[in-house]
Amino acid sequence: MAEDKLFEKKISRRQMLKLTGAGAAGAAIGVSGLGGLLNVFGMTAEDDNPESKNKVNFYGTHQSGIITPVQTHIYFASLEVLVKSQAELKELLQQWTPMAVRLMNGEPIGEVSSNGFIPAKDTGEAGGLDASGLTLTFGVGPSLFDKNELGLSSKRPAELKDLPHFPKDQLDPAYTGGDIAIQACAEDPQVAFHAVRNLIRAASGKVRLKWSQAGFNSFPEKNKKRETPRNLFAFKDGTSGPDAASKKAMNDVVWVDKGWLAGGSYMAVRRIQMHLETWDRTALSEQEATFGRHRETGAPLSLKNELDEVPLDQKDASGEPVIPVDSHVRLAKEAKAQIHRRSFSYSSGTMDATGAYDAGLLFISYQKDPQQFIAIQKSFGRADKLNEYITHRGSALFACFPGVQKGSYIGESLFKTL
Amino acid sequence: MAEDKLFEKKISRRQMLKLTGAGAAGAAIGVSGLGGLLNVFGMTAEDDNPESKNKVNFYGTHQSGIITPVQTHIYFASLEVLVKSQAELKELLQQWTPMAVRLMNGEPIGEVSSNGFIPAKDTGEAGGLDASGLTLTFGVGPSLFDKNELGLSSKRPAELKDLPHFPKDQLDPAYTGGDIAIQACAEDPQVAFHAVRNLIRAASGKVRLKWSQAGFNSFPEKNKKRETPRNLFAFKDGTSGPDAASKKAMNDVVWVDKGWLAGGSYMAVRRIQMHLETWDRTALSEQEATFGRHRETGAPLSLKNELDEVPLDQKDASGEPVIPVDSHVRLAKEAKAQIHRRSFSYSSGTMDATGAYDAGLLFISYQKDPQQFIAIQKSFGRADKLNEYITHRGSALFACFPGVQKGSYIGESLFKTL
Ligand code: HEM
Ligand code: HEM
C-alpha cells in the first residue's frame, strides 16, 4: 500500500498548488473549494476543474448524465457487487467519488509516469483526450437490497423492484439486472469506456462487470446546432417529452422527491433488438403508420413539422384516425405518463448464423417512479405495431443517486439514517 | 420493378442537371464526366460530388479506405455470397458501384420520399448527416474462388489463401473468413453502418452477412492536428510504418503490381481480444517492455520522442538490449517485412459470466503480398511478450480490388480475361 500513500500525497500537492494559484489570482475560494485540501473519508476530495475543455461538472443537486443533453457515445455497465458489508460498499462509493470528479475533469485518476515497477494508477487510454463531455451516473438495482449481508433491506424504496414481465419480452439473463449501474456518456467512445474501466479496476474484488453495452447517437446539425438524432429505423428519436430545461417539468417527471433518493431518479434500461431486415422490407407508409410520424421530417402523420402537436383526434376521409390506434406515439401518449428518454443505438456483430444484425436501441429513460415507464410499456403491450419489428432482450432498473455535494460522496444519503 | 425504372429516371435527370450546371459554369467536362449521362451496365454511373461536405472521392487509381487516413469509426462486414453464377456476381458489383458513389457522396442511395407504399430505396438513418469521410473498400476472400459455380478458380491469385494457423490462435468460426468484405470507415458510426446495411439490403438474396465488427479510434489533437491514437492498452498505435503519402513506399508495400489485382491490395483482418484485466494488473515497466516503447510518449524505450528511431542495437548497463528481445516492436522489425496498418479498437459487452470485457483490436493491415503479414505474425510466434495479454479470435484475408474508373465498376478486372 506504499504506493497508495505516495499517490495521495501527489494528488494533494497538486490540489494545493491549484488552490494556491486560484487564490493568488484573486478568485474566491468558498468553503466547498477548500474541500480540496481536506482528506475526507480517507480520500482527497477533488475539485471540478473549470479549466477542463468540454467539461460537465460533477458536483450539483443532481447527478450528471440524466438531464445533461444526450451525447454521441455511451458505455453502459451493470455490475455485480462482491463486497460483503455495508461499510465496504460505502467505502467503495467514497473511493469512486474523487475518481469520478477527475474522470469528468478529463484528468487521469492517478499518475501516469512511466518509470513505475507497479501498475499505473490510470489505465491511460484517454491520455491526450479532453473531458469530452463525460458524464457518470451511478445507480443501484433492486438486487442490491436483497443481499442480507449489506443490511440495506430497510432502505429499499417500495418503487425499486424488478420490472414486471411484459408480453413479448425475451430477456437474456446476460443483459438483465445488476446491483450497480454506471452510465458513462461522452462525446468520445474511448473516454466513456476508459471511465468505466478505471472505476471497475479501482474496485477490483469489490465489483464484477455483469453486462455492458456501448452505443451511439449521430446528430445532424443545422446552423451548428444539433438536431434530433435518428435511430436505426431512421426515425427521429427523442422529439417528444418533457422539457429538460424546465425545472418544473423535471421535478414533475424525473426527480424523486422523498426519502434518501430525493434528487435522484429511476433509470429504466432496455436492450431492444431492432429487426432491421424485417423493417427494411416494409413499405415506408407502413413504417410511418407504425410510429404515427413521417420518417423524413419527423412530423406527426398529416403534418409538416417535427414539433407539430400529434393530432390524436383527427380522422381521415374514411373516418380512420390519422394517427393509427396501434401506433407507437399514440399508445405512448395514451398511457398518460411521462418519461425522460435518453437512448443510444448499438450495432456490431450478428445474432446468429442467419446473419441477423446484432443492432438496436439501448433504451434508457429516467422517471421519478418506475410506474411511469411501466404504464407506457404496458400501453404498448401486445398492441404496439412496433412489436413486429423489435424484441426486448435486456432489462434493468436502477435507483440513481441524488447529486453529490463537495465534501460528500456518491450515494451518501443511502447510508444515512433518515 | 416499375419503381426501379422510376428511380433510374430520377437519378439520370438529377445527373443531367448537375452536368449542365457544371457546363454552364464553364467547368471542363472530360470524357469521364460524361459517364454520368451513360447508362452503363444497366445502371446510371454516378459522379463524385465535389460539393459534398467531408467527402472522400470514390473514383481513382486505388480504392478508398486503404491509404486514406484512418477515421474514427469502422463497420467491418464479411459476407457470404449466395449467387450461383459469375454473371450474377458481376451484376452485384455493378449494382453496388453507383450506390457506393452515392454513399460516399453522403447522398441516399435512392429516393426517401415519404408517400411510398413500397419500401424506401434508402434505409434513411444517415439522413441529415454529411459524407463524414466515408470510405468503402471491397475485397474478395479465398472461399469465393472455391465456389465451382462461379467459375473463378483460374483467377485465384496464388497469394490468396486462408492465413496459416499461428501458434496461440483461438479462432472462432463466427469471426473468421468470408467471400466478400466491405470495410466501411467514417467519422460517424451511423454513416459507416448505414453504408454496409444499404449495400447488403440492395443485394438481398445475393449475399448474407457472415460476421461484422464495429470499432473506433480516438484521436488526441495538437494544434488542430490529429495525433496517433491510443489502443486499449493505452499505447500509441500506428506510429511506425511506411509513409502512406509516399507513392514509392505504397508501391513497395501496399499495391499489388500484377494480374487483375494490380492497383489493389491484400487486407488482413484479425479480431484480437485484449485481456484488459490482466494487462491492468501488470506493472507499467512490464507493459513498456512488452512493446519496447514508453506508454505516455510512445517513444522507444530509453528515448524521448514518439518518432525517434527504435535503438535495436543499444544495450543497457548490464548488457541487455534496451528494446527487449521478446518485445513487440523488435519482433515486428526483425521480420524485415512491412505492412500498412489501419486498425480500430472495439469494446462492448462481456465475453462470458466472468465479466471479462469483450474488447480488443480489430487489426487491419494492407500489403501487396499476404506473406508480409505472415512474416511478422510468425516472428511474433510464441515469442511475443504481447501474447500473454491477447488472443486472436477472428481472422480473414481479402484481395481488395484496384480502384474504379468512371464508367467502370467495382472489381471489373476480375471478370476481364487478362
Ligand atoms: C427499439 C424500440 C423503440 C423505438 C425504435 C422507438 C422509437 C420512437 C420514435 C421514433 C418515437 C417518435 C419520436 C419521438 O418523440 O421521439 C418514439 C416516441 C416515444 N417513445 Fe419510443 N421507441 C422505442 C421503444 C420505446 C420504449 C420501450 C418506450 C417506453 C416504454 C418508449 C416510449 C416512447 C415515448 C414516451 C415516446 C413519445 C410519445 C409522444 O409523446 O409523442 N419507446 N419512440
Ligand atoms: C492486439 C494486438 C496488437 C496490439 C495491441 C499492437 C500494438 C502495437 C503497438 C503499441 C505498436 C508500437 C507503436 C506503433 O508503431 O504503432 C505496434 C507496432 C507494430 N505492430 Fe502491433 N499490435 C498488435 C498486433 C499486431 C499484429 C497482429 C501485427 C501484424 C502481424 C502487428 C504489427 C506491428 C508492426 C509491424 C508494428 C511496427 C513495428 C515497428 O516497425 O516499429 N501488430 N503494435
Diameter of chain A by CA atoms?
A: 79
Q: Which residue has the higher pLDDT, B354 or A324?
A: A324
**Residue appearing with cell numbers 498505435:** B237
Q: Read off the pLDDT band of B5 (50, 70, 90).
A: very low
* Other residues' Cβ atoms within 10 Å of the Cβ of residue A53: 11
The bound ligand whose nearest atom lies closest to the alpha carbon of B362 is 2
Average pLDDT over residues A240-245: 97
- Provide residues with CB under 6 Å of ligand 2: B 231, 233, 235-240, 270, 272, 274, 291, 293, 310, 328-329, 332-333, 339, 360-361, 363, 373, 376-377, 390
Q: Which segment of A114-128, A276-290, B329-343 scores lowest on mean pLDDT?
A: A114-128
* Other residues' Cβ atoms within 10 Å of the Cβ of residue A267: 28
The bound ligand whose nearest atom lies closest to the alpha carbon of A298 is 1
B357-399: per-residue pLDDT in tens?
999 999 999 999 999 999 999 999 989 999 999 999 999 999 9
Identify the pLDDT of residue B24: 30
Total domain count for chain B? 2
| Distance separating alpha carbons of residues B320 and B304, to the nearest angstrom | 20
* Other residues' Cβ atoms within 10 Å of the Cβ of residue A321: 16
- Looking at chain B, the whole-number percentage of residues with pLDDT higher than 90 is 83
User: Over 80: is that where the pLDDT of B32 sits?
Assistant: no
Asked if this assembly's ipTM is beyond 0.95, the reply is no
Q: What is the dihedral of CA A253, A258, A261, A264, to 10 degrees?
A: 30
Same domain flag for B128 and B181: yes
Q: Which residue has the higher pLDDT, B23 or B297?
A: B297
Half-sphere exposure at residue B93, Cβ-oriented, CA atoms within 13 angstroms: 24
- Cβ atoms A361, A74 nearer than 8 A: no
Chain A hits for B123, Cβ within 8 Å: 234, 276, 280
Identify the pLDDT of residue B110: 84
Identify the pLDDT of residue B47: 87
| Distance separating alpha carbons of residues B349 and A174, to the nearest angstrom | 9
Same domain flag for A164 and A271: yes
Average pLDDT over residues B169-178: 97
- The range of the structural domain enclosing residue B284 comes to 47-418
Rounded to the nearest integer, the mean pLDDT of chain A is: 90
Average pLDDT over residues A53-69: 97
Identify the pLDDT of residue B12: 36
| Distance separating alpha carbons of residues B254 and B365, to the nearest angstrom | 9
Identify the pLDDT of residue A287: 97
Q: Which three cell numbers stand for residue B334?
A: 526483425
Q: What is the dihedral of CA A278, A284, A290, A296, to 10 degrees?
A: 120
Q: Which three cell numbers stand for residue A74?
A: 455511451
Chain B hits for A6, Cβ within 8 Å: none
Same domain flag for A37 and A66: no
Identify the pLDDT of residue A117: 82
Q: Read off the pLDDT band of B353 (50, 70, 90).
A: confident
Rounded to the nearest integer, the mean pLDDT of chain B is: 90
Same domain flag for B22 and B103: no
User: Over 60: is that where the pLDDT of A3 sits?
Assistant: no
Chain A hits for B213, Cβ within 8 Å: 348-349
B276-329: per-residue pLDDT in tens?
999 999 999 999 999 999 999 999 999 999 999 999 999 999 999 999 999 999
Q: Read off the pLDDT band of A353 (50, 70, 90).
A: confident
| Distance separating alpha carbons of residues B77 and B209, to the nearest angstrom | 7
User: Over 80: is that where the pLDDT of A23 sits?
Assistant: no
Same domain flag for B33 and B75: no
Antiparallel, parallel or unpaired: β B225-226 and A265-274: unpaired
Neighbour-count burial of A161, counting CB atoms closer than 10 A to its CB (0-12 exposed, 13-18 middle, 19+ buried): middle
Listed residue (A346, A401, A343) closest to A93, CA to CA: A401
Same domain flag for A203 and A266: yes
Same domain flag for A294 and A359: yes
- Can you give the pTM of this predicted structure? 0.91
Same domain flag for B18 and B137: no
Same domain flag for A12 and A161: no
Atom of ligand 1 nearest to the CA of A235: 10
Q: Which three cell numbers stand for residue A211?
A: 453486462
Q: Read off the pLDDT band of B25 (50, 70, 90).
A: very low
Same domain flag for A103 and A167: yes
Identify the pLDDT of residue B10: 36
Report the nearest-CA residue for atom 6 of ligand 2. Answer: B237
- Cβ atoms B149, B169 nearer than 8 A: no
Identify the pLDDT of residue A40: 34
Among chain B residues, the shortest Cα distance to A190 is held by: B218
Q: Which residue has the higher pLDDT, A222 or A1?
A: A222
Average pLDDT over residues A89-99: 98
Residue A343 CB–ligand 1 contact under 6 Å: no
Same domain flag for B26 and B100: no
Average pLDDT over residues A353-370: 97
User: What residues contact residue A130 under an 8 Å CB cut-off, 6+ apart?
Assistant: A52, A53, A54, A55, A106
Average pLDDT over residues B210-218: 98
Identify the pLDDT of residue B44: 55
SS3 of residue A128 by DSSP: coil
| Distance separating alpha carbons of residues A214 and A347, to the nearest angstrom | 9
Q: 162-221 in B: which are within 8 Å (CB) of A?
A: 174, 188-191, 193, 197, 201, 208-214, 216, 218, 220-221
Same domain flag for B257 and B293: yes
